[in-house]
Amino acid sequence: MTSKEGLRVGFIGTGWTERVQIPAFRLGGLTAQAIASGREENAHRVAQALEIPDTHASWRELITSDAVDIVSIATPPALHREIAVAALEAGKHVICEKPTAMNVAEAEAMLAAAQAAPQQLAIIDHELRFHPQRMQMRQMIKDGFVGTPISVRLTRLGPDRLDRNREWNWWSDAEQGGGTLGALGSHLLDLSRWMFGRIDLLTAQLTTGRLYRMDPATGGERRVTADDEARLLLRFANDAQGEITVSSITAGGYGMAVEVNGTRGALYLDNQDRLWSMTEAEIAAGEWQPVRVIMPNSELLRQLPNQSPFTIGSFYLAQTLAMSLPMGETVLPDAASFFDGLAVQRLLDAARRTDAERSWARL
């Protein structure tokens, strides 16, 4: 039952939710009702700082609260399956952070739980699907602007893991689902499927930049087992070739970009989220033309804590949820379903396998 104030969200986790989700979801029309964390003191801190009414000692307590309509899971990936399945069984709508799970078997269990609860929303938080420039780019591809895609390239480059003083935490631990491939590669794999279609072949190379980091719990060094950079080569079902690079060890580089070259034209979304186009006639001259993109409710966007594509996408996702769920619409055409999450998980598992085996994977 939805309150008079609107759909009430219970957040599990205090990192991403504090920085991005809570302010963006509120601005988008959802109510930040409750929060829980692995460390209860963090939940109380965020609740006080962001004026969230309810704090819970555990995620199990939060998902059974009558004051919560939607559960947002922003924990390390090792906890996703257990929490998502339990929240769906408790009758809640679920938004789960990426990567979907630790492996395909866990993602399959999550999909089964979602299929058993068809009246409840179950989506993976690939909020970039709701970012206006990315939506415009996808629509132009669907409308045939580039013709048949020939080659695509997606990148996200940043220096954040180069800092040798960065402490060891779950992100450094493959057994908890840490690493750049899962955190950022999952987004670009999802965008690849969403924009260009099914991926049939894949190979990957993974790199760890800093092999040891200081563990604050012990005061000593601890081995890093998760990747800091991933490079993937793809072959799509339509025979287009793809390339994905996600890096947290690129000095001076930051941002995301998407480029597609086709038989009739090209599109380029640069790392400042500006969309450019080039028709077949313009390709010889190499003249990119700006594409005008409408940003609905642009006056509200200025109130966001930052203008990253993730924050903007979260705002528009929240608006979509606030309009759709009260109407009983639990299948959102643009959202990443748990089926999509499983498909991306297959690609992530294949990427890790091909890196270990120095091989290609046929999906």
Check: CATH 3.40.50.720 for 8-128+304-337?
Answer: yes
Identify the pLDDT of residue 284.
84
Domain 131-294+346-362 has what CATH class?
A: alpha beta
The segments of the chain whose pLDDT lies below 50 read 1-4
> Could you tell me if 180 and 160 are in contact, meaning their C-beta atoms sit under 8 angstroms apart?
no
Q: Indicate the helix (H) or strand (E) that contains 136.
A: helix 132-142
Model pLDDT, residue 89 = 98
pLDDT at 1 (0 to 100): 40
Domains 8-128+304-337 and 131-294+346-362 share a fold: no
Helix or strand (DSSP H, E) at 212: strand 212-215
Pairing of strands 8-12, 220-223: unpaired
Q: What tokens appear for 130 in the block?
A: 């709701």
Distance CA(267)–CA(262), nearest Å, equals 9
Quote the CA–CA distance of 174 and 186 in Å, as a whole number: 15
Q: What pLDDT score was predicted for residue 282? A: 92
pLDDT value of position 2: 45
CA distance linking residue 97 with residue 116, whole number of Å: 20
CA–CA distance, 170 with 105 (Å, rounded to integer) = 21
Find the distance separating the first CA and the last CA of the chain, reported in whole Å. 41
Cβ contacts of 152 within 8 Å, gap of 6 or more: 192, 195, 196, 234, 236, 240, 241, 242, 243, 258, 259, 260, 261
| Residues 117, 332, 83: CA angle, nearest 5 degrees | 45
> Where along the chain do its domains lie?
8-128+304-337, 131-294+346-362
pLDDT digits (tens, 9 = 90+) for 208-225: 999 999 999 999 999 999
Q: Can you give the pLDDT at residue 6?
A: 82
> Count of CB atoms within 10 A of residue 49's CB?
11
Q: Give the tens place of pLDDT for each residue, 301-323.
A: 999 999 999 999 999 999 999 99
Of all helices (H) and strands (E), which one includes residue 222? strand 220-223
Write 320-327 long-range contacts (CB < 8 A, 24+): 320/130, 321/7, 321/28, 321/30, 321/70, 321/121, 322/6, 322/7, 322/28, 322/29, 322/30, 323/29, 325/2, 325/7, 325/69, 325/70, 325/93, 325/121, 326/2, 326/7
